[in-house]
Structure 1
């Protein structure tokens, strides 16, 4: 299929109700993600097509591109550029989790993004750090990460704050030796304490999140 044909199919799948829900979360795509995944499953992996879809700038097309690309074929500069031109949360989330994490440049980008002055870019660095904390913590300065979170999370912009809070919680969940301090930071900062949480879901408030995940384990 050509890019034009795929764009036409995505336009036909667009639903104003889906758009309205996504806009409340800062996103701007109108295609149900299940339907988008079905298109990706049919197309299978196509790197050249993925690059062409990304370059359209359309959010639904970019999400589809992230599903059909070959992560290891992107250069470090490609991934850095793609993140910086990804203002919507869903595109950033999929780019980090479906592409960057599978790239040989993941650790280099994690360190660079973590220190970036742009809070959206920094939030991606913290997202990659969450994965390191949970899966490959060797070499990480966990006390230093907690120091940074304690100093900066309270007043951080929303997306950066959310990623830092996730990292705080993951440290408390995965590392018993740092659990008491992580819970204490959460209790002092009170970040997301009043976040509306649906029934049967775990609150993102770090002390509650940590306690529940530890209980389940």
Structure 2
């Protein structure tokens, strides 16, 4: 904790806070710290228990994802509302957990929009890697009905799912693009040069073009 305190940078904190995060440590420094510590489940639990985001981020990187029970992961997600901690917890821990599918189903319909966004993130992962058993038509129905008015982080997660369906499943591509064009969600999102727009029709078209060019 003393080392993390020494790494705190007011400029990094200012940037992070603009993105909804609440710590002042550079993410590269946190990754380097975790790489040095390597896997240490007990230390990870202690760091998580501090409730400090700068400590919880490396905790996510040094823990053993399969060591957590489903209920523990549910509590951890609800204790991690800030965007980066939420993202790392879902991607580096929950996705590697044997409880990922149960949590996907439980979180998908959660009344808390931030929790629901985790369910959508796990669903997007399945769309890309293990789509068998998913009702893609039904997912598009839900997206079409709720995407435009969803809170920001839930909207972002649903939009990603829309794009992933369009990219990976040619039979649903035309409908996914049509939904995106009609709803216009993230159409005007500021996109840096050489980056792909998160506007689903552009995102889908560009990624498919790249795949076909290979």
What TM-score, normalized by structure 1, do the two folds share? Answer: 0.97
Tell whether 2:176 aligns with 1:182.
yes
Tell whether 2:11 aligns with 1:12.
no
Superposed, 1:134-173 pairs within 5 Å as 134-173=128-167
Alpha-carbon offset, residue 117 of structure 1: 0.7
What is the rounded CA distance, in whole Å, between the counterparts of 1:114 and 1:67 in structure 2?
24
Residues 142-185 of structure 1, C-alpha deviation per residue, up to 9 Å, x if partnerless?
Answer: 00000000000100000000000000000000000000000000
What is the rounded CA distance, in whole Å, between the counterparts of 1:26 and 1:34 in structure 2?
18
Alpha-carbon offset, residue 87 of structure 1: 1.1
Tell whether 2:98 aligns with 1:101.
no
4+ long deviations beyond 6 Å = none
Alpha-carbon offset, residue 214 of structure 1: 0.2
Q: Which moved more, 1:27-36 or 1:98-107?
A: 27-36
List gaps (5 residues or longer) in structure 2: none
Alpha-carbon offset, residue 28 of structure 1: 1.0
Q: Secondary structure at the match of 2:208?
A: helix
Aligned to 1:126: 120
Q: Secondary structure at the match of 1:129?
A: helix
Find 2:85's aligned residue among 91, 99, 106: 91
What is the rounded CA distance, in whole Å, between the counterparts of 1:90 and 1:45 in structure 2?
20
Alpha-carbon offset, residue 12 of structure 1: 0.3
Residues 47-104 of structure 1, C-alpha deviation per residue, up to 9 Å, x if partnerless?
Answer: 0110110010000100010010000000000000000111100000000000000000
Residues 23-65 of structure 1, C-alpha deviation per residue, up to 9 Å, x if partnerless?
Answer: 1110111111111111111111000110110010000100010
Aligned to 2:200: 206
List gaps (5 residues or longer) in structure 1: 1-6
Residues 100-148 of structure 1, C-alpha deviation per residue, up to 9 Å, x if partnerless?
Answer: 0000000000011001011000000000011000000000000000000
The alignment of Structure 1 onto Structure 2 pairs a total of residues equal to 211
Aligned CA-pair RMSD: 0.5
